[in-house]
């Protein structure tokens, strides 16, 4: 494997290089007053970001000082982050959904000197912290991002070369970001990531060929998450015009308007699109449902051929052309009609759901990484995806499996360590410097990695059998189009059970026209008709599982899981321990009369 030689010293060095190469090209857009995108060129982005940097410098921010951002995904988040980088400082990211206690902890623990908050409500979360300033993106007065820009422009009039001189002194081993892991247990830990790792991310994405300056990317992912940050690095390196809008509720409305060619997301987004397609066909019934099922079957046969390295021909090729015209074109149109590729990351994507998208002519390329590895570690190459895997390692990243199957990583994008936590840092690495991912995997002869489960999430039943819950849960999501979340329970129990929540959008369509029409979510989930419907899908699931994996009982919860209730991380991963605590009564009821063993 040829070592990757970095072509830039730092993120701001890469950014200034991008601006010099394509100053007049579109860089970032956000929604305007009429909903249409308003574009900034790279030169305009540089003008604003440099002014923010100069304003921060004038406040007293110096190299490696931390500046926190608490805001939703929006163009101003990007401008603030680039400004922080150009000032030589390091960005501390805070999810806007973070509770005040945790937000204050992150800001204090990171040693952040300035906070850039979306509005007064977000700023109030860190009111008691020792700060040089709190800057509002939305607001009036002298403590806004606009005012900081004006201050910076005034500084640059007298010191026009200030930013370039700061950037010249930033090296690859300087701290760039502190991203606090959302974590499924305990307090968040600050992951220290360096400029060299982020430059590596952008460069290896470019070398992969997945990114193209002719693309139009739709970026809605949380920029507080490492997945969003690594996308920004690729955008800067390649110069991809990117529409930035974190309003997930506007996705369906905006996709036909923006018409992106590239989009990245968490599996939940792809699951919702899948659920919508399947339930729409089921609601149509009759010939419409028969045509849909026939088309999906044809599409899956085409995918199987391509996965085997063969291009379908003859009758199958003709059938697929008909299926595409009747069914799949309509699905692609709902996503804007121009999607070239989509990348799924941050949690496992069920193989059957990936297969459905590929059947529809929509490449969903699953990838893999951790906050501790700068997010982008593996991805399936375009045109060579192996469904059920997370692809091959980027660049010169090294990967091997430990004796128990744990995936170990080593290379430039790996974190320096956990902020102020030397013992936890030491525990995260092997004695010879490999990062312990906590994931169990398999690597095939061509270097494709398949993640089988989280090491700590493997269930061992009282009969001594191991069950991988994420596999069972993912399979169920691909079988039942009405499910939102599924959590398999069974540790030290004599059989497996499952907590299930319903997709609020999908279940409304299912209930329409029947006795449950117009009922609340809680009423629908508690209805015998709903339990009977889900039971049919659980029976179908069990037919595809080993005996010890089968779900003997299930419970439909009266509400969906949420970030606000602490059951999901901001990147939509289930916090199993919290869920099991929250619904302990439901779990106990499923095991009444059975014996739990340690």
Asked whether the predicted pLDDT for residue 598 surpasses 70, the reply is no
Query: How far apart are the C-alpha atoms of 319 and 317, rounded to whole Å?
Result: 6
Contact residues for 316 (Cβ-Cβ < 8 A; gap 6+)? 298, 301, 302, 305
Indicate the length of the chain as a whole number. Answer: 598
CATH number of the structural domain spanning residue 19: 3.40.50.12780
Sort strands 190-194 and 242-244 into parallel, antiparallel or unpaired. unpaired
Residue 499 · residue 554 · CB < 8 Å: yes
Shared domain for 213 and 291, answered yes or no, is no
Per-residue pLDDT tens digits for 567-586: 888 777 888 888 999 999 99
Shared domain for 218 and 319, answered yes or no, is no
What pLDDT sits at residue 596?
44
User: 325: domain range?
Assistant: 266-362
Shared domain for 111 and 226, answered yes or no, is yes
Per-residue pLDDT tens digits for 223-276: 998 999 999 999 999 999 999 999 988 988 899 999 999 999 888 889 888 988
Mean pLDDT of 154-179: 97
Query: How far apart are the C-alpha atoms of 460 and 473, rounded to whole Å?
Result: 16
CATH number of the structural domain spanning residue 494: 3.30.300.30
Structure tokens at 540: 């179908």
Q: Is 557 part of a structural domain of the chain?
A: yes
Per-residue pLDDT tens digits for 213-238: 999 999 999 999 899 999 999 999 99
Query: How far apart are the C-alpha atoms of 54 and 150, rounded to whole Å?
Result: 10
Shared domain for 289 and 231, answered yes or no, is no
Number of helices followed by number of strands (H, E) in the chain: 22, 25
Total number of domains in the chain? 3
Task: Round the average pLDDT of the chain to a whole number and report it.
Answer: 93
Shared domain for 204 and 299, answered yes or no, is no
Shared domain for 15 and 101, answered yes or no, is yes
Sort strands 406-410 and 175-180 into parallel, antiparallel or unpaired. unpaired
Q: Is 402 part of a structural domain of the chain?
A: no
Q: Is 3 part of a structural domain of the chain?
A: no
Asked whether the predicted pLDDT for residue 184 surpasses 50, the reply is no
Residue 63 · residue 85 · CB < 8 Å: no
Percentage of residues in the chain having pLDDT higher than 90: 78
Per-residue pLDDT tens digits for 426-435: 999 999 999 9
Q: Is 350 part of a structural domain of the chain?
A: yes
Q: What is the pTM of this model?
A: 0.85
* Final residue of a structural domain among 362, 377, 394: 362
* Final residue of a structural domain among 265, 283, 298: 265
* C-alpha separations of 49 from 78, 82, 85, 207, 252 in Å: 9, 6, 9, 27, 31
* Final residue of a structural domain among 265, 282, 317: 265
Query: How far apart are the C-alpha atoms of 191 and 348, rounded to whole Å?
Result: 22
Shared domain for 204 and 330, answered yes or no, is no
* C-alpha separations of 526 from 236, 502, 523 in Å: 50, 11, 5
Q: Is 385 part of a structural domain of the chain?
A: no
Q: Is 430 part of a structural domain of the chain?
A: no
What pLDDT sits at residue 555?
96
Query: How far apart are the C-alpha atoms of 285 and 40, rounded to whole Å?
Result: 47
Least confident of 7-21, 104-118, 327-341, 449-463: 449-463
Band of the pLDDT at 319, cuts 50, 70, 90? very high
Band of the pLDDT at 4, cuts 50, 70, 90? confident
Shared domain for 86 and 154, answered yes or no, is yes
Shared domain for 317 and 219, answered yes or no, is no
Query: How far apart are the C-alpha atoms of 53 and 342, rounded to whole Å?
Result: 33
Mean pLDDT of 330-345: 93
What pLDDT sits at residue 597?
40
Helix (H, G, I), strand (E, B) or coil at 446: coil
Shared domain for 251 and 270, answered yes or no, is no
Query: How far apart are the C-alpha atoms of 397 and 370, rounded to whole Å?
Result: 13
Per-residue pLDDT tens digits for 392-424: 999 999 999 999 899 999 999 999 999 999 999
Shared domain for 296 and 163, answered yes or no, is no
Residue 21 · residue 236 · CB < 8 Å: no
Shared domain for 48 and 195, answered yes or no, is yes
What pLDDT sits at residue 185?
46
Per-residue pLDDT tens digits for 434-446: 999 999 999 999 9
Band of the pLDDT at 186, cuts 50, 70, 90? low
Mean pLDDT of 504-515: 88
Burial label, 453 (beta-carbon count in 10 A; 0-12, 13-18, 19+)? buried
Q: Is 369 part of a structural domain of the chain?
A: no
Residue with tokens 């989509």: 342
Q: Is 134 part of a structural domain of the chain?
A: yes
Query: How far apart are the C-alpha atoms of 476 and 352, rounded to whole Å?
Result: 10
Contact residues for 231 (Cβ-Cβ < 8 A; gap 6+)? 217, 219, 221, 264
């Amino acid at each position: 494997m040829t070592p990757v030689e970095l072509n830039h010293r730092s993120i701001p060095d890469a950014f200034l290089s991008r601006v010099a190469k394509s100053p007049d090209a579109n860089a970032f857009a956000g929604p305007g007053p009429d909903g249409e995108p308003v574009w900034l060129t790279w030169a305009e982005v540089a003008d604003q970001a440099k002014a923010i940097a100069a304003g921060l410098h004038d406040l007293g921010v110096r190299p490696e000082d931390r500046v926190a951002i608490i805001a939703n995904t929006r163009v101003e988040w990007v401008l603030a982050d680039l400004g922080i980088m150009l000032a030589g400082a390091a960005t501390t990211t805070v999810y806007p959904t973070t509770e005040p206690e945790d937000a204050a902890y992150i800001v204090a623990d990171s040693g952040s000197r300035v906070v850039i908050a979306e509005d007064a409500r977000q700023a109030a979360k860190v009111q008691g912290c020792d700060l040089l300033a709190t800057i509002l993106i939305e607001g009036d007065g002298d403590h806004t991002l606009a005012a900081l820009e004006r201050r910076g422009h005034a500084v640059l009039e007298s010191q026009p070369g200030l930013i370039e001189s700061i950037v010249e002194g930033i090296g690859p081993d300087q701290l760039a970001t502190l991203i606090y892991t959302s974590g499924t247990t305990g307090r968040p830990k600050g992951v220290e990531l360096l400029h060299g790792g982020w430059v590596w991310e952008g460069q290896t994405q470019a070398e992969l060929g997945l990114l193209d300056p002719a693309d139009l990317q739709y970026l809605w992912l949380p920029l507080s998450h490492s997945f969003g940050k690594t996308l920004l690095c690729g955008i800067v390196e390649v110069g991809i015009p990117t529409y930035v809008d974190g309003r997930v509720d506007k996705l369906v409305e905006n996709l036909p308007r923006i018409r992106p060619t590239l989009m990245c997301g968490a599996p939940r987004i792809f699951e919702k699109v899948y659920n919508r397609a399947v339930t729409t066909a089921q609601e149509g019934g009759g010939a419409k449902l028969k045509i849909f099922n026939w088309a999906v079957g044809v599409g899956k046969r085409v995918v199987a051929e391509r996965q085997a390295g063969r291009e379908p021909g003859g009758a199958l090729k003709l059938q697929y052309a008909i299926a595409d015209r009747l069914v799949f074109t309509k699905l692609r149109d709902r996503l804007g009609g121009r999607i070239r590729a989509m990348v799924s990351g941050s949690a496992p994507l069920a193989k059957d759901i990936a297969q459905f998208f590929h059947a529809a002519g929509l490449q969903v390329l699953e990838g893999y990484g951790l906050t501790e590895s700068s997010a982008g570690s593996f991805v399936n190459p375009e045109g060579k995806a192996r469904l059920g895997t997370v692809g091959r390692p980027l660049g010169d990243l090294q990967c091997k499996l430990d004796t128990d199957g744990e995936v170990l990583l080593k290379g430039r994008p790996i974190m320096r360590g956990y902020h102020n936590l030397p013992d936890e840092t030491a525990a995260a690495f092997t004695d010879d410097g490999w990062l312990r991912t906590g994931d169990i995997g398999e690597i095939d002869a061509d270097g494709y990695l398949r993640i089988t489960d989280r090491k700590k999430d493997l269930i061992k039943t009282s009969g001594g059998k191991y069950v991988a819950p994420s596999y069972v849960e993912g399979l169920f999501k691909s079988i039942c189009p009405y499910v939102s979340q599924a959590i398999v329970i069974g540790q030290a129990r004599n059989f497996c059970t499952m907590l299930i929540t319903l997709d609020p959008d999908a279940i409304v369509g299912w209930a329409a026209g029947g006795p449950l029409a117009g009922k609340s979510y809680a009423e629908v989930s508690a209805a015998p008709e709903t339990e009977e419907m889900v039971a049919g899908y659980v029976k179908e699931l069990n037919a595809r599982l080993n005996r010890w994996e089968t779900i003997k009982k299930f419970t439909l919860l009266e509400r969906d899981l949420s970030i606000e209730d602490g059951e999901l991380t901001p990147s939509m991963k289930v916090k199993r321990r919290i869920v099991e605590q929250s619904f302990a009564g439901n779990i106990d009821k499923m095991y009444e009369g059975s014996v739990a063993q340690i």
